[in-house]
Structure 1
Amino acid sequence: MTFFESNESNFFEIDGIHLRIWEPNLIVLPIPENRSDSSISVEIVEIKVYLINNTPNPCHLNPNQTLIPELLTSDGQVLQGQITLDEAVDELQRNIPPQAAFGIWLRQFVSNLAQWLKRSETIVFAPRLINSGLRIPLTLALRLIWQNNHLQLQVINSPNSLSKVFRFLDKTWFFNIPQPESYQLRFIWGNYGESESSLDPPTEETVSAVQLATQFVNLRLIEPVVSHNSAIEVDGIHFETLMPERVLILPEKKRGIKTRMELGICITNNTSTAVRFSLFATIIPQLVGADGQLHFQGYYRRGTKRPSESDFPLVMPGESFTLFPYSELSWRKLDPFTLIIEAGDGGYWNLDGLKAGIYQIQLAYNNKYTVQEIEIYDRESLNTNLIEGLWIGMVSTPKIEFRLV
């Protein structure tokens, strides 16, 4: 039995600036079916990379530099990546939530305002400026797809809204995968191509170190379980998305009218030892339309829910645990239909822009915290307990196809 943990020491830091993949050390993607309609036979997962300024001074990003993915085989060989930009990828990027760009703007605005009030002097907003102690989140999508009977991994960089700030961030990298196996993935912040020129004059505060890189994470590509097209097994742990009803009738276009949706995940322990899982805000929905495009995925919070021991089930050998989070379809005025799925921590996932048609959906497990100190509030003793030994990883199950009518 293998537990995967983040390696906090495995970072490359240059003068207080470093990159970090904000995901578990293990990322698992199922290999999609090799079908003629490759637009829908696709597996996509979103990851985040943070560029963090731990220095006492603000720094500027070089606009000619970008995130460059590096993929290694199990024997340490570097796979040659290529860069492309086409309509299909552009469309996928537009469907990735542009929250990162707004987040950058908001944090910079608040930070600049605070400094202005403190020093009583005007500060000009610079989109490429990272103030001391701040971090910029960059959202990427990893997409597995068949192209001319060859399996291809596409690394789709940040939303197009950021390309106005960082040149080359709207590009997509792709790697031809020779065979399903375990790979190592990391990102380097550097110049794409041979040109080292910049629109901004170089300064000591400009981040331009080609060697700046994230930690390596394990990327495992696995065939789905033969007897369950909606399941995948990782080191003896079986993950399966459940959806008993595959044809759903959309509710009337009236306020308050809703259609319940049964959508769940089943985790089976096929190992010889008991394994504990975190189900507290770790089950993440992913929705793909008939055109193969990722739908907007927003997280919103209604309130705050304390974790309880039931959120961390201990699954014995040969046993399973099933979770069906509350899910519903509803209509909003001047908007298509919306799917809401509770996250379990007082918040919910919101998937917008739905209409009649064919979709693919999954519930992925994503627990990035190490062998674990999660505090559980005990009403009787008024103390906190620690839940340890949680299974670590980001596992994307094969998607289930369903129809809205």
Structure 2
Amino acid sequence: MTYRELNDRNYFEVNGTHLEIMLPDTVALAIPENKSGAISTVELVIQITNNTSEQFSMSFDDTFIPELVNSDGQTLQGIIVIYEQEPTNQSNISQQHNWRFKLRCLFSKLVNRRKHPINVNSWLIHPGSKSVSHLNGRLFWQNDLLILELSTKDFSLDFEYFRPKTYYSFNGLQPGNYQLRFIYFNKFSSSYNNELDAIEVTKLPQIASSHPTAAFVNFRLVQPVEPKSSAVEVDGIRFEILMPEKILRLPEKKRDIKTRMELGICITNNTPTPVRFSFFATIIPQLVGADGQLHFQGYYRRGTKRRLESDFPLVMPGENITFFPYSLLYWQKRNQFILRIEAGDGGYYIFKALKAGVYQIQFTYNNKEAIAEVYHRKTMNTNLIEGIWMGIISTPQVEFRLDR
């Protein structure tokens, strides 16, 4: 698997440390409808590479400050926003799950403190090694202002799960093209706290000269193709989320009683050339409740599936391809209703503790691979498929209701 090559275009080096945004050239967020609870999300992957001869420490307290530049070349002013609790729907996680999670974290801390004197939230990056952080972003309306919030830390593996979460917020944005990069602040730097305190009064380009900084990537805010449409179009490629039935009945609270959920994506090639797409673990669902809060999402793998040529269909000019991942609603013990959506690679996404009410769901097409190795069942050989369309595109949300 290859991402973009390391070169002068996509990273800066400070004291042998590289910071790279692991994104394709096309990243687009659908602008949500201007109403309460509407939100569009994206995950950004940041890679730190240690190209020095000595190891250095990283921490979950390390901070990634985003710099956003508009099409006029103006660096936009952002502000730090602190949430006492992560604004996902924590009520969707059962009390038993919470206690299990806390107990597991406590056990991990005790074990690591016996082995290593440093905090469990810290780790070492050895020479030639890499570390990946996952930063999330969300786009929503507030008081008729379009707001983009980007997380400044990696929350995904933080053992201090319930501490405040920090985001960098950009207010009053407009549809169009932007450029985005991140500046890395290491907790173990002697000037860490002083520089963060002064971040709002210091120009980001000046700060970037003394810190590992990713190069800019293109970042687009895209309007749906028409008002209240479930499709967006980027560079002649149209992405539309499909949900024929908008009202679904929750299944009975009996074992093996399941309700099929028709949920899919349609990709149309409006360019003059054939384009190949990937449906191998590239369609990522995001579920939002009526209160605008993201539902807890888990990814599980029950086995390994080989990549087949059928996972990478070729779409001719003017034609489209639809993909409906196998999706089920069912009841699970502890009085939880579950939505499970197959990922296409042998794994699946799980949304827990659903109940009757209104929800919004969106898909993100997320493919960073231009080349894939596929397996032929008849010949039992493998070969390469090239020219796969790369990009991260979020569809608009579609609203549906669960009834009892």
TM-score normalized by the length of structure 1: 0.81
Percent identity over paired residues: 52
- In structure 1, the residue matched to 2:399 is 401
Alignment gaps of 5+ in structure 2: 198-207
- In structure 2, the residue matched to 1:186 is 181
Residue 139 (structure 1) shift: 2.8
Alignment gaps of 5+ in structure 1: 117-121, 199-207
Q: Is 1:175 the counterpart of 2:186 in the alignment? A: no
Residue 17 (structure 1) shift: 2.8
CA distance in 2, matches of 1:181, 1:364: 19
CA distance in 1, matches of 2:331, 2:316: 41
Q: Is 1:342 the counterpart of 2:338 in the alignment? A: no
CA distance in 1, matches of 2:31, 2:196: 40
141, 147, 150: which one pairs with 1:155? 150
- In structure 1, the residue matched to 2:376 is 378
- In structure 1, the residue matched to 2:292 is 292
CA distance in 1, matches of 2:60, 2:40: 31
Residue 345 (structure 1) shift: 1.0
Q: How does 1:203-242 map to 2 (within 5 A)?
A: 210-226=210-226, 229-242=229-242
SS of residue in 2 equivalent to 1:90: coil
Answer yes or no: is the 8 Å Cα contact 1:95–1:296 preserved in 2: no
113, 124, 130: which one pairs with 2:117? 124
Residue 363 (structure 1) shift: 1.9
Answer yes or no: is the 8 Å Cα contact 2:58–2:125 preserved in 1: no
Answer yes or no: is the 8 Å Cα contact 1:130–1:136 preserved in 2: no
CA distance in 2, matches of 1:227, 1:80: 29
SS of residue in 1 equivalent to 2:292: coil
132, 137, 145: which one pairs with 1:142? 137
CA distance in 2, matches of 1:74, 1:7: 25
How many residues are paired up? 371
- In structure 1, the residue matched to 2:385 is 387
What is the identity, as a one-letter code, of the residue corresponding to 2:320?
Answer: S
Answer yes or no: is the 8 Å Cα contact 1:53–1:130 preserved in 2: no
Residue 255 (structure 1) shift: 1.8
The alpha-carbon distance between structure 1 residues 298 and 16, as it changes in their structure 2 partners (threshold 3 A), is farther
What is the identity, as a one-letter code, of the residue corresponding to 1:195?
Answer: N
CA distance in 2, matches of 1:12, 1:320: 40
Residue 218 (structure 1) shift: 1.3
CA distance in 2, matches of 1:140, 1:94: 19
- In structure 2, the residue matched to 1:31 is 31
- What's the CA shift string for 1:283-311, capped at 9, x where partnerless? 11111111111111211111111111111
SS of residue in 2 equivalent to 1:67: strand
- In structure 2, the residue matched to 1:202 is none
What is the identity, as a one-letter code, of the residue corresponding to 1:238?
Answer: R
Answer yes or no: is the 8 Å Cα contact 1:326–1:342 preserved in 2: yes
Higher mean displacement: 381-390 or 321-330: 381-390
CA distance in 1, matches of 2:172, 2:92: 24
Answer yes or no: is the 8 Å Cα contact 1:21–1:50 preserved in 2: yes
SS of residue in 2 equivalent to 1:310: helix
Answer yes or no: is the 8 Å Cα contact 2:250–2:329 preserved in 1: yes
Answer yes or no: is the 8 Å Cα contact 1:326–1:341 preserved in 2: yes
Residue 44 (structure 1) shift: 1.8
Residue 65 (structure 1) shift: 4.8
CA distance in 1, matches of 2:255, 2:92: 28
Answer yes or no: is the 8 Å Cα contact 1:190–1:209 preserved in 2: no
CA distance in 1, matches of 2:306, 2:364: 22
What is the identity, as a one-letter code, of the residue corresponding to 2:194?
Answer: S
Residue 176 (structure 1) shift: 2.0
Answer yes or no: is the 8 Å Cα contact 1:30–1:43 preserved in 2: yes
56, 67, 71: which one pairs with 2:68? 71
Residue 328 (structure 1) shift: 0.1
Residue 96 (structure 1) shift: 11
Answer yes or no: is the 8 Å Cα contact 1:189–1:209 preserved in 2: no
- In structure 2, the residue matched to 1:8 is 6
- In structure 1, the residue matched to 2:313 is 313
- What's the CA shift string for 1:381-401, capped at 9, x where partnerless? 443221111111000000100
The alpha-carbon distance between structure 1 residues 84 and 230, as it changes in their structure 2 partners (threshold 3 A), is same
The alpha-carbon distance between structure 1 residues 386 and 218, as it changes in their structure 2 partners (threshold 3 A), is same
CA distance in 1, matches of 2:157, 2:326: 33
What is the identity, as a one-letter code, of the residue corresponding to 2:82?
Answer: L
SS of residue in 2 equivalent to 1:162: coil
- In structure 2, the residue matched to 1:203 is none
80, 91, 102: which one pairs with 2:87? 91
Answer yes or no: is the 8 Å Cα contact 1:251–1:258 preserved in 2: yes
TM-score normalized by the length of structure 2: 0.81
Q: Is 1:256 the counterpart of 2:256 in the alignment? A: yes
Answer yes or no: is the 8 Å Cα contact 1:18–1:213 preserved in 2: yes
Answer yes or no: is the 8 Å Cα contact 1:188–1:210 preserved in 2: no
What is the identity, as a one-letter code, of the residue corresponding to 2:385?
Answer: I
What is the identity, as a one-letter code, of the residue corresponding to 1:271?
Answer: T
What is the identity, as a one-letter code, of the residue corresponding to 2:346?
Answer: G
